[in-house]
Structure 1
Amino acid sequence: MAFAHTTRRGRRRGHSPLAAPLIVLLIAGAVAATYVGYLLWPRWPDAPVALDAPALPIVVAGTAFNIEPAAIRMRVQRHPGTQARVDLAYVWPTLTPPDPAEKSPPPGAPPTPLERLFISIEGADGTMSPIQRVETIYPRYLVAEPVAGPPGLTLRGFRKDTPYAGEELVFESNNPQHFLARCATHGVIGSGSCLLEKRIGEADLTFRFPRAWLDNWQQVASAVDTLTARLHPQ
């Protein structure tokens, strides 16, 4: 009996050296997994920001912006804090955010031009500023002679054998730095679209609008200035 009692007691002792390290390893693994999950999990609020909430403080490439939630096109971007990119839309010509109750056209309906001014904000990532591209990159691809555009504008096309084939520079004849855009000559809807770029700090703002608006380019230039000041108040 003494021998049996000693054997059972020896077996009980034999479990301890293995169980303790195993428990420690399991706990350490759980802590590590929780910590990694915490680092990788997005930390913006679970509840979506209301569309009628005040403007959100958003930082892109170290530059601060104040943006109305209703103007932000993607729900995942509707949160304050630092973001890599923000995509916006404003109704033309009121420059108000789109009405969330507005219905999309029914399936199969022919596409119609959108009366929207679209803006994307993202980091420059060390690329040339818009004016630097105009001065150093674009000239090697442009045709030799400019032509007159809508009153007050000059057009200068890109050659067909270049990366910008099918586009042209459109700029204010007397002050190109005030209004300068790159426009497609044709588009899927209407006559194509135009891109107008501005840089604030290390953030690039790209304004996109229909080429047909060039007939009222002064209004477009004023809208760009107004929205720039609204998004990034000095």
Structure 2
Amino acid sequence: MTLLSTAQHLARDTRSDPRSHMMLIMAAVSIAAGAVALVAYLLWPTWVARPAGGPDRLPVSVGATLFNVPTSAIRRKIQRHSGPQERVDLNFLFPSLDAPEAPKHVSADTIEDKAQPIDRIFVSISAHHDALAPDMRLRTIYPRYLDQAATPINDGLTLRAFRDGSPYANEDLFVATTPTFHARCTRDGLTPGMCLTERRVDGADLTFRFPRSWLSQWRDVAVAMDRLTAQMRGARG
């Protein structure tokens, strides 16, 4: 009713004063613009559009064994899908065990001359197809190629070197009993030594790789491997 009265009033003024014709047009435009602004304000969505992305975790089956793995931890794009797979390769930051961010582009202008320290633990999950279990290899295969001498290292960790000429030449075996821990490590040379340790979970073998220098905190590494195994086996969704 207010808008109708205003229009009628302006119409009367227009007949008496021709200049009011322009005022009438301007008033109508202002009223229409205000109405449009009010409707737009009331109908404007309150949600914020976000780019679509994949799930945080993926259920994968390796060796008929279910694992829930962080999507961003998977190292190879071709493996970033749910369902049965023969092998999945992952990496996690240490000691946080968070999935790393996507790697940045490196060019000749940005790369540094010195090698960057490895700050992550690598995990491969693969179907074992009834191959010899890691604990059996530790008890029955490795002792055939080890030197007899055992050297205490630190905090309950013991070193035994593999003999020269053996399949594991230039490697050492590190073993502890409390907690149970073992790792086969290459020796430092032109490149820093790396360690691997394996464990079996139903139809899959988990292979963990980390720098040999981390053996100074081997208990933390052992806990990290236990945590990662539990998270990938226990997380759902």
**TM-score, normalised via structure 1 length:** 0.73
- In structure 2, list runs of 5 or more residues that go unmatched: 1-51
Shift of the alpha carbon at 1:151?
Answer: 2.1
2:68 is equivalent to residue 66 of structure 1: yes
Cα distance in structure 1, aligned partners of 2:119 and 2:105: 14
- Matches of 1:188 and 1:61 in 2, distance apart? 36
What is aligned with 2:57? 55
**What SS does structure 2 have at the residue aligned with 1:137?**
helix
Match of 1:186 among 180, 185, 188: 188
Q: CA deviation at 1:111?
A: 1.9
Alpha-carbon distance in 2 for matches of 1:104, 1:125: 39
Q: What's the RMSD between the two structures over aligned residues? A: 1.9
CA pair 104-170 structure 1, distance change in 2 beyond 3 A? farther
Question: In structure 1, what is the Cα distance between the partners aligned to 2:73 and 2:161?
Answer: 33
2:100 maps to which residue? 98
Deviation at 1:222, TM superposition (A): 0.5
Identity %: 42
Secondary structure in 2 aligned to 1:140?
helix
AA paired with 1:138? Answer: Y
Q: Corresponding residue for 2:210?
A: 209
Alignment partner, residue 169 of structure 2 = 165
Distance 2:189 2:226 in 1: 26
Structure 2 distance, partners of 1:125, 1:187, is 34
62-71 or 181-190, which deviates more: 181-190
Bigger mean CA deviation after superposition, 219-228 or 143-152: 143-152
In 2 relative to 1, CA 103–115 (structure 1 residues): closer, same or farther, beyond 3 Å? farther
Pairwise CA distance, 1:126 = 2.1
Checking the alignment, whether the CA contact within 8 Å between 2:156 and 2:178 is kept in structure 1 is no
Would you say the 8 A contact 1:187–1:193 is kept in 2? Answer: no
Equivalent residue in structure 2 for 1:130, among 131, 134, 144: 134
1:153 partner letter: L
User: SS at the partner of 2:169?
Assistant: coil
CA distance in 1, matches of 2:126, 2:210: 18
Q: Which residue of 2 aligns with 1:151?
A: 155
Normalising by structure 2, what TM-score?
0.72
State the AA in 2 paired with 1:162.
S
Cα shift at 1:89 = 0.5
1:60-89: CA deviation from partner (whole Å, max 9, x where unpaired):
010000011100000110000000100000
Counterpart code for 2:128: A
> Number of residue pairs matched?
182
Q: Quote how far apart the aligned CAs of 1:157 are.
A: 0.8
Q: Tell me the alpha carbon deviations over residues 121-173 of structure 1, each in whole angstroms, 9 at most, x when there is no partner.
A: 1011221111100111111100011111122100011000100001111011x
Gaps of 5+ in 1: 1-48
Is residue 2:126 matched to residue 1:116? no
User: How many angstroms does 1:113 deviate by?
Assistant: 2.1
